[in-house]
Amino acid sequence: MKVGFTAHFVMLAFASVFVVSSGSAIFLSRLMAHRTIHHDAQEVTQFVQGFAPEPVLLDYFTQPRNRAAHAAAIAPFLDRIAAMPGVIHVNVYDAFRTVLWSTKPEMIGKVLPINEELDEAFEGEVAVESSLLDASNYLKPEHLYLQEHDKNFVETYVPIWRSDRSQVIGVIELYREPHALFAMTRALIRGVWASALVGGMFLFVALYWLARRADAVIRAQQQQLIETETLVAVGEMASAVAHSIRNPLASIRSSAELTQEIANGEARTVTAEIIHQVDRIAAWITQLLVYSQPATPKITRVNVVRTIDRAVADFKPELDKHGIVVRTRLDSDLPLANGDEGVLGQVFNTLISNAIDAMPTGGSLDIVAQREPQQTRVQVTLTDTGQGIAPEQLERLFVPFNTTKKSGLGVGLPLVRRVLARLGGTIDVDSARGAGTTVRLSLSVG
């Protein structure tokens, strides 16, 4: 996975979630506003048509010559409509779009030639217009008479049918201010947007976590694949070279030992150094073989305190030579850890050897072994006062064949981590240049 993949995925995921959430919120908000406003309009229509006096309305709309005579009969009906809760204005139209009656007397007699909702009502449909359905600032001639009111009203066009519903003979237009309806609709819309926001944020966080998780898994798999390929090459090389090198090394060491027995003074010192370097080369070969073909450890119950004491005793001459003081604090009641005593001994040998290399002119090494607070693991901490490790080197500390030493193969700590992983343990390293190094081991217990 490329380095920039996560960033690109995050931007793409954010854009996708934003578009989907916003689109869903807009759609649901409009749908909710449309349903609530039209449902309210249907109720108003049923109310108006329910108590409309059909014979009087029929005469009023279809007999223009006698309309004045019928006006008195229809007046109670129109007054009752005008007195409905929330009604701020009423217009009554005949089939020619002429205003026959209005709560604004100056509107009477006017003809509205262009009105889509009025045309829709004369086709027999209940027409509705509202600022919640169309946020644009629409303007109609009759709106000039409503300037004292805000634009938060609902226009409902109620068709008036003949009794046999064969023809629409008139339309009653009601302007209403249903404050409760508007408040409820806006609250529902806010709820839709809040839900879309919370849902979008949750989806984005989930996608981001999945991307980071997938990125980490793929990187780990890539690293493991590289390490495996490297181990295959190292195993083949180590197996081919080890036997060829060990025999000459054995001859060199035997000759050096024989010379040391008969030599005196400086010659003995030189032969001792030869033996030491031969042993180092032999140890490197062994380490290569162990790392490239690690045997599966035999899990038993290991006394951690005894294993640490043995490792410190083995390195005592080397520690004294470099002037390193070892301070141990090992809890005597530690439970037995899961592991292999020989393998764990190799782990502590590697860590103590690294500490010695980090303190060539002396220092101190503190080793603490104690039970973790959860009472399910043993924690061993090794802290030295050495040179420390630079941040860029710390990041590659467990990469095979990457070493901070002037001499070495760079497989010590990677081998320690692999061994601990097989034993159910972990290793963590904290260090800074000039501030020493702390290594924490966590070992499982039975």
364 or 59, higher pLDDT? 364
Average pLDDT over residues 344-358: 85
Q: What does the pLDDT look like over 164-202, one tens digit per residue?
A: 888 888 899 998 888 888 888 888 888 988 998 998 899
Closest CA to 215 of 10, 437, 390, 444: 10
Per-residue pLDDT at 108 = 86
Given the candidates 2.60.40.10, 3.40.50.970, 3.40.470.10, 3.30.450.20, the CATH classification of the domain at 5-190 is 3.30.450.20
pLDDT higher than threshold 60 for residue 2: no
Average pLDDT over residues 121-133: 83
pLDDT higher than threshold 80 for residue 312: yes
Per-residue pLDDT band for 3 (boundaries 50, 70, 90) equals very low
Per-residue pLDDT at 41 = 85
Per-residue pLDDT at 69 = 72
Per-residue pLDDT at 1 = 42
pLDDT higher than threshold 60 for residue 406: no
Q: Where in the chain is the domain with CATH 3.30.450.20?
A: 5-190
Q: Where in the chain is the domain with CATH 3.30.565.10?
A: 297-444
Is residue 22 within 8 Å of residue 196, measured between CB atoms? yes
pLDDT higher than threshold 60 for residue 139: no
Polymer length in residues for the chain: 446
| Assigned token pair, 388 | 């420390």
Contacts with 344 (C-beta within 8 Å, 6 or more apart), sequence order: 302, 304, 307, 337, 423, 443
Given the candidates 1.10.287.110, 3.20.20.80, 3.30.565.10, 3.40.1170.20, the CATH classification of the domain at 297-444 is 3.30.565.10
Note the pTM of the prediction, 2 decimals.
0.45
Average pLDDT over residues 244-271: 78
Lowest mean pLDDT among 234-243, 271-280, 359-368, 425-434: 234-243
* φ, ψ of residue 57 in degrees (nearest 5): -65, -40
Percentage of residues in the chain with pLDDT exceeding 70?
83
Per-residue pLDDT band for 335 (boundaries 50, 70, 90) equals confident
pLDDT higher than threshold 60 for residue 317: yes
Per-residue pLDDT at 58 = 81
pLDDT higher than threshold 70 for residue 149: no
Q: Using the 8-state DSSP alphabet, how is residue 147 labeled?
A: T
Query: CB-hemisphere CA count at 13 Å for 32?
Result: 19
Is residue 181 within 8 Å of residue 161, measured between CB atoms? no
Per-residue pLDDT at 292 = 54
Contacts with 92 (C-beta within 8 Å, 6 or more apart), sequence order: 78, 99, 100, 101, 102, 170, 171, 172, 173
Percentage of residues in the chain with pLDDT exceeding 90?
1
Lowest mean pLDDT among 28-37, 258-267, 286-295, 317-326: 286-295
Closest CA to 384 of 422, 315, 437, 328: 437
Lowest mean pLDDT among 66-75, 190-199, 209-218, 312-321: 66-75
Instruction: Round the average pLDDT of the chain to a whole number and report it.
Output: 80
Lowest mean pLDDT among 195-209, 319-333, 415-429: 415-429
